[in-house]
Chain A
């Protein structure tokens, strides 16, 4: 029950199959890393989980703590406890970070209940401090004109402020320099708990030096072809994705 479970998921777009019988279970308390070459379907998986409507789900199930979230609206899935840190966060001109997160928090409250503004800002500032974000950022338009690293930090800030049950992080490390990577990782590590599961999607092993995963999965052509512990990531880094292809894909074919 305390898992995010993806069962035999088949997803296509414009008739082209992208996820092929994909299965993965993330229990609360664990961090799973998902690695794979570009174009293999990692972001597709993340977006389908979050309820993106562009994709056609042919078959399969996604269960959040036992409840099906497939076919639900993106906001319902968010309320159910799934957070997606986007690979490419959207710019929302004119909407400040503070107001945006506040609106997202407000949307979780029952009708008629209002956010306590003082408490809210206290918490927001504390989170920003720990992510080493300048407090002046709160007034800036969401992601507008942000550097790649600032956008990613802002995603983690939102993740921290919304305290989800399951965090899906799509290539959060891309665009981060080493200092930023360390800060963001600290933020994530801080959020690790028995009450929360993580799916960390990444192309590179580097991130996993900081966010040490419990399980590493290698994805290729729409499915997981191999799983192992954190050492697998290192092996992958040194041997490259061709090794995966030769070792696991051809073998299973």
Chain B
């Protein structure tokens, strides 16, 4: 461990550029660029079983072969330079910069969000390890009594392969897309959770309790299994702006809801505007099970995220509720996928996007109902709100339905916050920023009611801040 301390000192902070340089020969550093060596290295540091290394190496091969999805997606993807990215840094040596290096606006945001001092430092990447161990272990004890497993990906695969291995990489196959392959080759961090049969967790589990450098890493991997009749709500992310040097974030999240189980996965993310956020999220719902994604994306340079549910068993239900806010220079390319694979399955998609200034929002939906199925239902609603004339929104719903007694309902709307609406609100005494944020909050209001209280409060605050900041 003393080596680590020494190495910490060797980290050079380039305050001019606001980024960091790490020595090339760092012990827990996989270096720059991605090749077989990088992958072997990550696996070795984690002391993984051979099957995991094989899994990673295969994924690397697929990653290298897969083209970028630029034929349909944002051309900005071409600006990701895979050979300039650092793929693994272990917890010991993630940023050791000082609080003084954190930009003032980020500090201010922390303050206004009321985030405690200790957390602020962690979230700003000043402190490598945020000590929430005490509360975490207390919670863990309670969970253990019920047989719940709540660990990181490395620990999950090492200690409980009999539970996690059968589902790992099954909901989202490595070859699903270029970025799922990238994650499969380089993953570290994330949460692995197993909720035993019939256990219904009353409190939501939060990634917060497992805050550590890896968990907030670039290539986190999450797998949640709710056994028959189990229920769990998981909250991911944080409303604090993620101020980071890493420009590529590519997570894979797999959910498995066995017969009659319910999983609700909530994300609120607020990325800094240099981040490519390319995430693959999918759940599998067995007979009578329910998977629900609540997804809020704010910030980032480009987000591509289409949470999906594979409705595998009869009577399964899937839902995606999403809010995306694209400010100047940002592109939120989000949506949902619903794969109906059994009779009597239902899915619901509600997507709300807000584009401000030159911000751009895209909705991509895919609903698949094959011919032989009966009594399947989908409802899709996507609403876009444009603020300022430059904003842009596109909607690409792809709904393939065949078969009898299947119903699909699709509604889309685009509205604008007009200058007259703003004037009306300002006449009542609201500032321009307050008026805009009220309009935005009104736009997402009905959807927010579906969110847990504390999240909607935080989200509202975030919107307020975004809107205030966007007024010239």
Contacts and interface: CB of A to CB of B under 8 A. Distances in A.
B393 to A, nearest CB: 17
Given A95-B439, A95-B441, A141-B442, A107 B423 contact: no
Residue from B424, B427, B434, B443 having most chain A Cβ neighbours under 10 A: B427
Contacts of A77: 427
Interface string A81-100: 00110100111111100011
Contacts of B423: 50, 52-53, 74, 90
A123 to B, nearest CB: 16
Given A95-B445, A103-B434, A78 B426 contact: yes
Contacts of A141: 442
A52 B426 CA distance: 10
> Chain B interface mostly helix, strand, loop or mixed?
helix
A162 B421 contact: no
A104 interface: yes
A212 B460 CA distance: 45
Interface residues on A, range: 20 to 34
B441 A94 contact: yes
A73 interface: yes
A92 B429 contact: no
B429 A79 contact: yes
A159 B438 CA distance: 19
B415 interface: yes
A162 B439 contact: no
Nearest to A80: B429
Given A90-B421, A103-B438, A75 B426 contact: yes
Q: Which of B418, B430, B446 has the most CB of A within 10 A?
A: B430
B8 to A, nearest CB: 41
Nearest to A104: B428
B323 to A, nearest CB: 13
B71 to A, nearest CB: 37
Contacts of A90: 418, 420-421, 423-425
Interface in A151-166: 158, 162
Contact of B438 (A79, A89, A95): A95
A93 B352 CA distance: 14
Interface string B217-251: 00000000000000000000000000000000000
Contacts of B442: 92-95, 141
A50 B432 CA distance: 14
A169 to B, nearest CB: 13
Given A92-B442, A93-B442, A94-B444, A78 B424 contact: no
Interface in B382-415: 415
A249 to B, nearest CB: 32
B66 to A, nearest CB: 41
A108 interface: yes
Nearest to B445: A94
Contacts of A100: 425, 428, 438
B443 A93 contact: yes
Given A52-B423, A89-B424, A103-B438, A94 B446 contact: yes
B267 interface: no
B431 interface: yes
A93 B438 CA distance: 10
Given A92-B438, A92-B439, A78 B445 contact: no
Given A92-B442, A93-B442, A162 B424 contact: no
Taking chain A's interface residues, is the majority helix, strand, or loop, or is none over half, making it mixed?
A: mixed
B446 A92 contact: no
B427 A93 contact: no
A158 B428 contact: yes
A107 B446 CA distance: 24
Contacts of B434: 103, 107
- Size category, B interface: 20 to 34
Given A103-B438, A107-B431, A107-B434, A74 B426 contact: yes
A93 to B, nearest CB: 5
Contact of B415 (A51, A78, A93, A99): A93
Contacts of A158: 428
Contact of B426 (A73, A89, A95): A73
A99 B439 CA distance: 12
A93 B445 CA distance: 9
A154 B444 CA distance: 23
Nearest to A73: B426
Contacts of A104: 428-430
B125 to A, nearest CB: 31
Contacts of B427: 50-51, 74-75, 77-78, 83-84, 86
Contacts of A73: 426, 432
A75 B429 contact: yes
B330 to A, nearest CB: 23
Nearest to A88: B420
A153 B311 CA distance: 50
Interface in A5-54: 50-53
A50 B425 CA distance: 11
Nearest to B446: A94
B267 to A, nearest CB: 22
Given A89-B424, A90-B424, A94-B446, A75 B430 contact: yes
A75 B431 contact: yes
Contacts of A95: 438-439, 441-442, 445
Contacts of B421: 90-92
A15 B394 CA distance: 38
A204 to B, nearest CB: 24
Nearest to A168: B427
B308 to A, nearest CB: 28
A186 B446 CA distance: 35
B443 A94 contact: yes
A86 B445 contact: no
User: Which of B415, B421, B432: most chain A Cβ within 10 A?
Assistant: B421
A71 B418 CA distance: 21
Given A73-B426, A94-B445, 6 more contacts: A52-B423, A75-B426, A78-B426, A93-B443, A104-B430, A162-B428
18 contacts: A50-B423, A74-B423, A78-B426, A78-B429, A84-B427, A90-B421, A90-B424, A90-B425, A93-B415, A93-B442, A94-B445, A95-B438, A95-B441, A95-B445, A101-B428, A103-B428, A107-B428, A141-B442
Interface of B: 415, 418, 420-421, 423-432, 434, 438-439, 441-446
Closest 8 CB pairs of A and B: A94-B442, A95-B442, A74-B426, A94-B445, A90-B424, A104-B428, A78-B429, A107-B429
